[in-house]
Structure 1
């Protein structure tokens, strides 16, 4: 018998999620380099009155499909061009994702498990961080979540619609991920008759009607340049070749998951194990959730390009698995597995406490925020592990949810504001505008260019292709010397240090904000 959602639980969940996802949403400048890209592109699309072809720096931009750009463009129309509007779609869709997990978790495993699953999702560090960021990951995660849960709920038309929307959000992964996960599930459970009930002919038509129009129009407008850049580089090349060589480590996503899913990472493995080994009526759904979560983890582990945000789509199924497990522990009133949970929570919590304290010593401006975060993580570690040992699971749940809600506010009101000048070009762009003569050429390293474009409405000429690279900068300095003309260089301190002493002497430091510099060659 299907259980109904609780109105009081729904309202409480919505209130907690609103606090976590919307606190100080527009109070922090956009963080380089990704947020300014996703804020500047829809800004230029509106300025050019062209909502089909994404563009940045006055040129067409084939990096991502347009879904998030469209959402931000709509938010700009409502709220103006600002940080709040750029982040609003992520926060809103993050809220919808949490509430949807509650509804579907209740439908699959009961109201308590659904409520726990949603709270676990919204209080995990990576989810609420990306839910407050102007990037595409929350949008993709919502589309994949609705698509895959619709499949397991046998609502196949809804599956095809949201697989199509995922494809308009982030490209081929929108259909490849659901397709691979479903095929793996069917193969491992031997449910081949499922393919007959999926209404494939009608489904392919629905998917194509949602996903393909933008791609067809873009190909008609831009031809091979669109296909070669979007499919060739931004999908195939990024999977087979590292965009960030320093991140090519096979274990890269292990610490990312342990930190990103904290504090629930302390119990995720035993929850996954229990969901696959315990005999229960929801086994097929739990097996599907495990295939979904761990497929995404392994896919990006194999991928040559690795970014922290890539594994976010595994968080909703993982939250449902952990929510089911904790609800099961409460129902069975057993201590089995709680010792391991307590030990892992103590170790991870104390590690994060130590990181906060050390961080405050390295960056004194973080001191009060870091100490506040250390108290939060210390309480989770010590009090949480003690209550687990005493079999007080409800207290542990309340502690972790309240503590992570508090940490989410500390993060955006104390930690980020203390160091925003190191991660945002807002102040730097203002000082550049005050110093620039308005005529001379300006060369900008790739990392700083999106923020400069958003905050100063200035594009400059890009001079860097590799992280920390200085030879290209030196070549441009030499070129300007030969032409004997005035030029500005917007770089980071790491590039400046790699210049020769001769080049450093030839360049006057006009502006220095944190690690960003404006240099002038007279």
Structure 2
């Protein structure tokens, strides 16, 4: 059952949407250039070395491209398969730690939580990191220490030092809380460290040999340390940033989340040690990224597997002990979160005409699901309450990809815009493109273009006497002085993007 639900949620219509800016085209293009240059050590983008991330996801996508061809489906397939794998790992762990039913419930909770299934259909690194961290940390909980070090090493090859930082911090805090110092002896740390280094270190050594301090300063200095200490985005200064992200991202299981954590900490059975570890895991990820100055919605994904296990355990326990009051409390919490989502859908439907019908349908489904949850909660039917949530999210996951996202995809993808560009491009003039659009433009056109850092750069280039094409934000064009607007031709405008052409004035 779990495999069926997980496969439908993640694999259905996987290549239906174009790659969405700005992140998906970056990973897809870098993997494509790995194949183009036959260099699987040094990632590149626009033909230049790229030190943003370690190579794991690029490797996986490159393999998918080789087998299925270059396209949206292959770019997202590694994330989808690892998302399914993560759900299976959570199920197997929950079954061994608690009960068969608790494991199944946990796997379904993870599969159908809003952010997990969305990122499972995206060509980004977050699911890959989450999978390897989950493998490592659950291996610790099951006393399978070789697997712990292997998982941690693969996490480091996926996204850098964060892979080992989380493992060390979470396990260390758990040992302190439980006072189980003897576990360090059982872990055979020296042997495990050697295993970890054999897997994690080679790529870093080779990159240093090839690129020297440029790699160290850019990858470790900027993309890890600087991003933690300084905000890359304005939202990075908001300490509460991840509170609404978690509430909406873990929907519809947010309603059970706090109750599950509270019950876990109060538990006095043999499960307490395991439950505390899961709570520490989730809290550590949340606090770490809340402290970091650079924040993105996807960063807290590694806390979803432990939350899923906690909710699976709690729901199973309440079901077995017939704690009917839990159902009503959860239904009330679900109503609050559902109202927030429905308000968002109504807002989008009223501000974006293309979203009106799909937005209304999605909101109606959430309202109906919430009504059924209340009905079955009052009837004290645990199985039906859980089933309604799973079925509703199964429908929503497919509807999101088939109806909701296609309506707004032109605003967040360069695919259709590149088709318009190809109809106008003369084949030899310079092309200048805003930084945000450049990865998608490169992936779909095969042309790197010249990067425009800001609006001032656009103004400077427009006064030059050369024929050139410009791909900029529509607002950038509107902000240009009237004289410059008169000297250029707007070839096409789509959503928030504009294609401009500047003719050469002084012809010889």
Q: 1:189 Cα deviation (Å)?
A: 1.5
Aligned residue number for residue 5 of structure 1:
none
Would the aligned equivalents of 1:345 and 1:385 in 2 still touch at CA under 8 Å?
no
In structure 1, which of residues 498, 504, 512 is the aligned counterpart of residue 493 of structure 2?
512
The residue number in structure 2 matching 1:325 is 314
**Partner SS state of residue 471, structure 2:** strand
- Computed over aligned residues only, the root mean square deviation of the Cα atoms, in angstroms, reads 1.2
Q: Distance in 2 between matches of 1:224 and 1:98?
A: 39
Measured after TM superposition, the shift of residue 513 of structure 1 is 1.6
After superposition, where does 1:443-462 map in structure 2 within 5 Å?
443-462=432-451
Question: Of 458, 469, 473, which residue of structure 2 is paired with 1:473?
Answer: 458
**Aligned mates of 1:15, 1:337 — CA distance in 2:** 28
Q: What is the alpha-carbon distance in structure 1 between the residues aligned to residue 107 and residue 478 of structure 2?
A: 47
2:403 maps to 1:414: yes
Residue matched to 1:377: 366
Alignment of 1:46 onto 2:32: no
Q: How many residues in Structure 1 have an aligned counterpart in Structure 2?
A: 503
Partner SS, residue 70 of structure 1: helix
User: Aligned equivalents of 2:487 and 2:383: distance in 1?
Assistant: 65
Name the counterpart of 1:388.
377
Asked if the contact 1:165/1:210 (under 8 Å) is kept, the reply is yes
What are the equivalent positions in structure 2 for 1:231-380 lying under 5 Å apart? Answer: 231-380=220-369
Mapped partners of 1:366, 1:190: distance in 2: 54
Distance in 1 between the 2:319 and 2:481 partners?
A: 65
Pick aligned residue for 1:501 from 464, 482, 485:
482
Displacement of 1:247: 4.1
State the shift of 1:29 in Å.
0.3
Q: Distance in 1 between matches of 2:261 and 2:139?
A: 21
Q: Alpha-carbon deviation of 1:476?
A: 2.9
Cα distance in 1 for residues equivalent to 2:235 and 2:291: 15
Aligned partner of 2:207 among 218, 232, 251: 218
Q: 1:110 aligns with which of 87, 91, 99?
A: 99
TM-score by length of 1: 0.94
Alpha-carbon displacement from aligned partner over 1:2-53 (angstroms, at most 9, x marks no partner) = xxxxxxxxxx111111110011001110000100001000101101011111
Partner of 2:506: none
**Structure 1 position 440, deviation (Å):** 1.7
Poorly superposed stretches of 4+, deviation over 4 Å = none
Q: Distance in 1 between matches of 2:237 and 2:400?
A: 28
Q: Secondary structure, in 3 states, of the residue corresponding to 2:83?
A: helix
SS of corresponding position for 2:14? coil
Q: Is the counterpart of residue 63 in structure 1 residue 55 in structure 2?
A: no
- The answer to whether the aligner puts 1:27 opposite 2:12 as a matched pair is no
Say which is worse superposed, 416-425 or 110-119, in terms of deviation: 416-425
**In structure 1, the residue corresponding to 2:493 is in which secondary structure?**
strand
CA distance in 2, matches of 1:182, 1:375: 44
Distance of 1:152 and 1:474 partners within structure 2: 59
- TM superposition shift of 1:364: 1.6
Match of 1:160 among 149, 152, 172: 149
Indicate conservation of the 8 Å contact 2:318/2:326, yes or no.
Answer: no
TM-score normalized by the length of structure 2: 0.97
Q: Quick check: 1:87–1:133 contact (8 Å CA) kept in 2? A: yes
